[in-house]
Amino acid sequence: GDGSDEGEEEDDDDLVQTDRLDGAQVVPEMGADTAEPAMRGGGGGARPSGVVVGIVRRAWRPYACVLDPDSAMGSQYLAEPLDTRIPKINLTTRQAEMLRGKLILVSVDLWDAGHRFPTGHYVRTLGAVGDKEAESEAILIEHEVNCAPFS
């Protein structure tokens, strides 16, 4: 568009910049009795549609992960989040042997458009995989429950 229809929307705490599509553009919409995308023109009844033009701010949080030792490429490793909806996180560390078999917190820093996985950094170790207290803390963190000591 010409900028007059641009807006900011939030989805899952991400701040997203959008731009409305002109009425003559194709908007993918699944038909009721077909798996083919329907063509939508500028005619009456067309629903407003838009396209994401950028993400202004990401709502990344620390994720409980396990380091994948088989993914080593020099000092780079993939940390696998416990939440299967989150992709593996690229992590650079020289402490891989100390982190093997541990639950760790990893925070995402950025996700370049040309990279398969986001890049993050090590925050802290929760404890050994299978340890009741470490696993409990990981569950609380994954559900965004504050588990800091009460003061």
Predicted confidence pLDDT, tens digits, the chain (151 residues)? 444 444 544 446 666 666 776 654 544 544 444 444 444 444 555 666 777 666 666 667 899 999 999 999 999 999 999 999 999 999 999 999 999 999 999 999 988 888 999 999 999 999 999 999 999 999 998 888 887 777 7
Whether the pTM exceeds 0.85: the reply is no
Report the number of secondary-structure helices (H) and strands (E) in the chain: 2, 8
Distance CA 104, CA 94 (A): 15
Encoding tokens for residue 81? 């989040």
- Classify residue 137 by its DSSP letter: H
List phi, psi (to 5°) of 23: -60, -25
